[in-house]
A and B are shown apart, each in its own frame.
Chain A
Amino acid sequence: MWKETLPENCPPPAATEINQEVYRILQFEDSSEDDFIPYAKLRPNNKRYNNTLCLAYAISFFDTIDNAKAAYINSLLRGRKLGDYIGKFSLLNTDGKSTYNSTNGHISTWLYNSWELKNFKCLNVTSINEN
């Protein structure tokens, strides 16, 4: 059912299917599969976060471009550059299940196995430095 092998009880019961335009920080102007690899899969041998931490298996999106930029800046302050572009996508209820934090506009999405990049519509891309 899920694109990744998830820990037990993951995603949480509060996760729901949503239809919404969302923003994601991208490495390059053209989004690739590499932009949609969850934290846990990027570090498969990291015993602190693998197999148990559900959120490490989710993909981060934001409800607005401003919230995406805020996350980019906070991450930069910690020494990590998340990417150079922000892509706008149309997240559909067939893509997966998500939780939403209204305080910072962050959306964690656990993708379904049926999710494919070729079907994930990128509506536009902007360079972070241009804004």
Chain B
Amino acid sequence: MRIDEKYRLQDMPLNLTVIEAFDFIEEPIFLLEKDIIGNSYLSYLVESSNDVEKRIYVQVSNERLSSILNKELSIRNAFSNPENKFIYVAEFSLIEGDPISTYLVPANIFSPINPIDEKYSVDVQYILNKPALNEFEILSYSERKQKLIFDFYLQSQNLVNNIKPFAIYKVLTPIVEIIKSLLSFDNRNADKILAFSNLRQGSLGVTIEINYSNDLFLEKESAVMETIIQLLNAQEKTDFDAIVAKATNERYIKEYTTIIKTIIDNNANLHTAYANPITKKILTSVLDKEKAIKAKSILDETLSVIEDIENIVGTFLEIDIDAREPSFKIHSNEENITIKGKFETSILEKVKNDFVNIGKETYKFTIKTIYTPETTLKSEEIKRFMIEYEKQVN
């Protein structure tokens, strides 16, 4: 196939990455490739030698790609009638993979010399808008956004047609809580630090964008995201010990326990990937039921009780000082939730002597949470104790 030199471009304008091989017999014949902003191209091998390959490229929309893969449109026709009226013809070195020459040919010139056989077709089951993004897509998205990206998708028989609440409340929310806990920020700053994108139905897929330190290096969040992937990959006691040694609090363990229990109960698979735009690093994990059971048994054996102390700003809603175990109910202004618990005996006198203004004045409460994970003998237990409170001055 010879192309008139007048269609030759000075350089290859596309920076393409091979995503999928739809036909690979001894050599890559028919491929799906993507440019750096996610446009899809189909490429077909026209000529090859030991050192050089010549390919033709057609840019395709998702709708067009779907028609081709469903055989509603032949591959030959897709190249003869491109949506944007142009075909690229490119030669690549097979040694390095670098482009050698590129031509941009109008469809009406290319169509008569289209080398693809009319009967050429491929049998593939390629899912467009897959809930699982591939590594290229995640890293390229991270680079475009210049943010750390934590992508996850939850796969379960229960999530085929729609998203069930457990996916949101027992996987997505705990993941966000783990990020908040390890990065030590609360809901007041959540909107500045986190953003959700690429929401995918058909299983649940979500990309979480993180920019905590707001600088060029993203050092703290990089370390935390690596810890989270370590946690999701943990399968030995030593793995958990290493994570506990790094973390400043243990609240994330409670959230992690919720996630693994949910995976076990729903026979789900949790695929996660973290991409760093600075280091170009990608770390991944796949947590399935089998791994979740193993992780849970280690947690049950080693971490019998988890303690966490946190400060909550809010108001008193109820105080029952005369009960056998004096109790409280408070409202957190930051999280907009109600928390119940018992007063620790050391502050009982203070509570009795203070004229606490219920429902109006704002206090900083110091709450100790004791979390006992579920075991084969008993269900999980969360006990909260108020160990200090302090009136906030406006």
Contacts and interface: CB of A to CB of B under 8 A. Distances in A.
Interface in B216-230: none
Contacts of B21: 53-56
Interface in A26-61: 39, 43, 45-50, 52-56, 58, 60
Interface string B21-58: 10011111000000000000000011111100000000
Contacts of B25: 60, 71, 74-75, 104, 106
Contacts of B26: 25, 39, 60, 71, 75, 82
Nearest to A103: B123
A45 B95 contact: yes
B385 interface: no
B135 interface: yes
Nearest to A25: B26
B18 A52 contact: yes
A8 interface: yes
Contact of A47 (B96, B121, B122, B135): B96
Contacts of A43: 94-95, 97
B28 A39 contact: yes
B136 interface: yes
A78 B28 contact: no
A55 B69 CA distance: 19
A71 B29 CA distance: 11
Count chain B CB atoms within 10 A of each CB in A25, A46, A54, A103 and give the residue with the most: A46
Contact of B28 (A53, A71, A101, A103): A53
A98 interface: no
Nearest to B96: A45
A118 interface: no
Interface string A104-115: 101010000000
Contacts of A80: 27, 48-50
B94 A78 contact: no
A121 B241 CA distance: 50
A1 B327 CA distance: 59
A52 B136 contact: yes
Interface in B79-113: 92-98
Interface in B322-371: none
Nearest to A24: B26
B262 interface: no
Given A55-B24, A108-B24, A46 B95 contact: yes
A79 B49 contact: yes
B284 interface: yes
Interface in A57-71: 58, 60, 71
Contacts of B121: 103
Given A56-B21, A56-B28, A78 B96 contact: no
A47 B50 CA distance: 16
A39 to B, nearest CB: 6
A48 B92 contact: yes
Contact of A78 (B24, B46, B92, B123): B46
Contacts of A56: 21, 24, 28
B309 to A, nearest CB: 40
Contacts of B136: 52
A108 to B, nearest CB: 7
A75 B136 CA distance: 29
Contact of A46 (B97, B122, B123): B97
A102 B124 CA distance: 11
A50 B98 CA distance: 13
B28 A49 contact: yes
A53 B94 contact: no
A78 B47 contact: yes
Count chain B CB atoms within 10 A of each CB in A75, A82, A102 and give the residue with the most: A75
A70 to B, nearest CB: 9
8 contacts: A25-B26, A39-B26, A46-B97, A48-B92, A60-B25, A78-B27, A80-B49, A108-B24
Interface of A: 8, 25, 39, 43, 45-50, 52-56, 58, 60, 71, 74-75, 78-80, 82, 101-104, 106, 108
Given A60-B26, A102-B123, 7 more contacts: A46-B94, A47-B96, A75-B25, A75-B48, A78-B45, A78-B47, A80-B27
* Top-3 shortest CB links A-B: A48-B97, A55-B24, A46-B97
